[in-house]
């Protein structure tokens, strides 16, 4: 178990102040092939998980949305059309390489007018209190060093009545767990080696998922941060869960 001076980087104990650097190295390594690997790893199902998240976002024309750990911009692209010209979407990511890939991809698609890009740490978001109608973080929370601090930061910048949505790998059903472990620790690193020449980053991915809080634990963490009406919805037998909570 980690003490107050160390934290988990996958299964490895590292000093707290070094985790962000280790995570950054992972995403610098995989940024250019990130979308391709997502499609291969999930067999394309990640697009359905994100579509479900967007459907439940309740985002309307004119809304202001913060997409944390937005990476290559999948959610941001759709939010841009949902909020329209009067709305605003901020794609935020701690990793410069991922942010650049996302910016270039969205500009190439002609989506620029209502999107801003901010390199930011989820633990200390550089925005005023009560700024956003909706905040999303998809497949990013498990990489955050201090998740409680990040949840508190998200609560601060969310408007009263606003919704936080956390899409993240979670704990699968017991019947699926053995097969999922075999896939995660045997197949994923080989895919990573084949496509990015980086097996270690995908070994970290598998380990980081196992170290992430399970569904009920994350729900309690959201409630402790002040969110209300918290709930989660399991997808693909719990491999992924969408957590939702509101600020009132």
Annotated binding site for S-adenosyl-L-methionine: 72, 93, 121-122
Q: Which of 122, 128, 190 is nearest to 152 (CA)?
A: 122
pLDDT class for 116, splitting at 50, 70, 90? very high
Its pTM stands at: 0.89
List, in order, residues 6 or more apart from 175 with CB less than 8 Å away.
Answer: 237
**89-93, 100-104, 235-239: which range is least confident on average?**
100-104
How many percent of the chain have pLDDT more than 70?
92
Strand partners, 135: 66, 164
pLDDT of residue 2: 47
- Helices 46-55 & 34-42 angle (0-180, nearest 10): 100
Encoded tokens for 190: 């080989």
pLDDT of residue 112: 80
Instruction: Tell me the per-residue pLDDT of 168-213, one tens digit each, with 9 for 90 and over.
Output: 999 999 999 999 999 999 998 888 888 777 788 788 888 999 999 9
Annotated binding site: 72, 93, 121-122
**Whole-number mean pLDDT of the chain?**
90
| Spans of all domains in the chain | 29-246
CATH superfamily membership of 29-246: Vaccinia Virus protein VP39 (3.40.50.150)
Q: Is the torsion defined by CA of 146, 152, 153, 155 positive or negative?
A: positive
Instruction: Tell me the per-residue pLDDT of 34-82, one tens digit each, with 9 for 90 and over.
Output: 666 677 778 889 999 999 999 999 999 999 999 999 988 999 999 999 9
Mean pLDDT confidence for 141-166:
97
pLDDT class for 4, splitting at 50, 70, 90? low
């Amino acid at each position: 178990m980690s003490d107050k001076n160390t934290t988990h980087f996958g299964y490895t104990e590292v000093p707290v102040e070094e985790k962000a650097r280790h995570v950054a190295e992972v995403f610098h390594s995989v940024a250019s092939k990130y979308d391709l690997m997502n499609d291969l790893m999930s067999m394309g199902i990640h697009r359905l998980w994100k579509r479900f998240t967007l459907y439940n976002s309740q985002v309307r024309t004119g809304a202001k949305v913060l997409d944390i750990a937005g990476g290559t911009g999948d959610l941001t692209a759709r939010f841009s059309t949902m909020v329209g010209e009067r709305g605003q979407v901020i794609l935020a990511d701690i990793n410069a390489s991922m942010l650049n890939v996302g910016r270039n991809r969205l500009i190439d698609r002609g989506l620029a007018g209502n999107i801003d890009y901010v390199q930011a740490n989820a633990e200390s978001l550089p925005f005023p209190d009560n700024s956003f109608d909706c905040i999303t973080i998809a497949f990013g929370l498990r990489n955050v060093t201090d998740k409680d601090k990040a949840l508190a930061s998200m609560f601060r910048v969310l408007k009263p009545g606003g919704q936080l949505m956390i899409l993240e790998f979670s704990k699968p059903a017991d019947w699926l767990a053995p097969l999922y472990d075999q896939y995660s620790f045997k197949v994923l690193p080989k895919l990573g080696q084949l496509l990015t020449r980086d097996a270690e980053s995908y070994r970290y991915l598998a380990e980081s998922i196992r170290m992430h809080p399970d569904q009920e634990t994350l729900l309690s963490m959201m409630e402790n941060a002040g969110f209300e009406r918290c709930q989660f919805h399991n997808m693909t037998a719990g491999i992924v869960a969408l957590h939702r909570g509101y600020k009132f």
